[in-house]
Chain A
Amino acid sequence: MFENQLNNISIGQPDKIKDEKIKISINDLSSYFGKTKVIKNISLNIPEKKVVAIIGPSGCGKSTFLRSLNRMHEVVGGTITGSIYLDGEDIMKSDPVYLRRKVGMVFQKPNPFPTMSIFNNVVAGLKLNGFHNKKILSEIVEKSLRQAALWDEVKDILHRSGAEISGGQQQRLCIARTIAINPEVILMDEPASALDPISTTKIEELIFELKKEFTIVIVTHNMQQAARVSDYTAFFYVGELVEYSDTKKMFVAPGKKQTEDYITGRFG
Chain B
Amino acid sequence: MEIKSNMKNFNYYRRKSTNYFMISISFLSALVTLIPLIFIFYYTISKGIANLNLNFFTKLPTPVGESGGGMVNAIVGTLILIGIGGGVGIPVGILSGTYLSEFGHNKFGFLVRFLTDVLSGIPSIVVGVVAYTLVVLPMKHFSALAGGIALAILMIPTITRTTEEMIKLVPQSYREAGLALGIPKWKTTISIVLKTAWKGIATGILLGLSRAAGETAPLLFTTLGNRFWSTNVFQPIASLTVYIYEYSTSPFKDWNDQAWTAALVLILLISVLSLTFRIITRSKYKS
Which A residues form the contact surface with B (CB < 8 A)?
A: 70, 72, 75, 97-101, 104-105, 107, 109, 111, 113-115, 117, 124-125, 128-129, 160-161, 163-164, 174, 177-178, 181
Size bracket, chain B contacts: 20 to 34
B171 CB–A CB distance under 8 Å: yes
Asked whether A107 lies within 8 Å of B177 as measured between CB atoms, the reply is yes
Q: Quick one: which of B173, B183, B191 has the most chain A CB within 10 A?
A: B183
Asked whether B181 lies within 8 Å of A104 as measured between CB atoms, the reply is yes
Asked whether B183 lies within 8 Å of A129 as measured between CB atoms, the reply is yes
Residues from chain B with Cβ under 8 Å of A101 in the complex: 181-182
Bitwise interface map of B from 172 to 201 toward A, beta carbon under 8 Å scored 1, else 0: 011011111111100110011001101000
Residues from chain B with Cβ under 8 Å of A128 in the complex: 178, 181, 183, 187-188, 191-192
Asked whether B183 lies within 8 Å of A111 as measured between CB atoms, the reply is no
Which B residues form the contact surface with A (CB < 8 A)?
A: 171, 173-174, 176-184, 187-188, 191-192, 195-196, 198, 283-287
Knowing that A100-B181, A100-B182, A181-B182 touch, tell me 14 more A-B residue pairs with CB under 8 angstroms.
A97-B184, A101-B181, A104-B181, A105-B180, A107-B180, A113-B178, A113-B196, A114-B285, A115-B192, A115-B196, A115-B198, A128-B187, A161-B286, A178-B180
Residues from chain A with Cβ under 8 Å of B285 in the complex: 114-115, 160-161, 163-164
Q: Which residue of B lies closest to A101 (CB)?
A: B182
Task: State which of B183, B198, B284, B286 has its C-beta within 8 Å of the C-beta of A125.
Answer: B183
Task: State which of B171, B179, B196, B287 has its C-beta within 8 Å of the C-beta of A75.
Answer: B179
Q: Which residue of B lies closest to A99 (CB)?
A: B182
Count contacts between A and B, CB distance < 8 Å: 78
Residues from chain B with Cβ under 8 Å of A115 in the complex: 192, 195-196, 198, 283, 285
Asked whether B179 lies within 8 Å of A178 as measured between CB atoms, the reply is no
CA distance A128 to B174 in the complex (A): 14
A-B contacts, 28 of them at CB < 8 A, read A70-B180, A75-B176, A98-B182, A100-B181, A100-B182, A101-B182, A105-B180, A107-B173, A107-B176, A109-B173, A111-B171, A111-B173, A111-B176, A113-B174, A113-B177, A114-B287, A115-B192, A115-B195, A115-B198, A115-B283, A124-B178, A125-B181, A125-B182, A128-B191, A129-B187, A161-B285, A164-B285, A177-B177
Residues from chain A with Cβ under 8 Å of B192 in the complex: 113, 115, 124, 128
Residues from chain A with Cβ under 8 Å of B181 in the complex: 100-101, 104, 124-125, 128, 177-178, 181
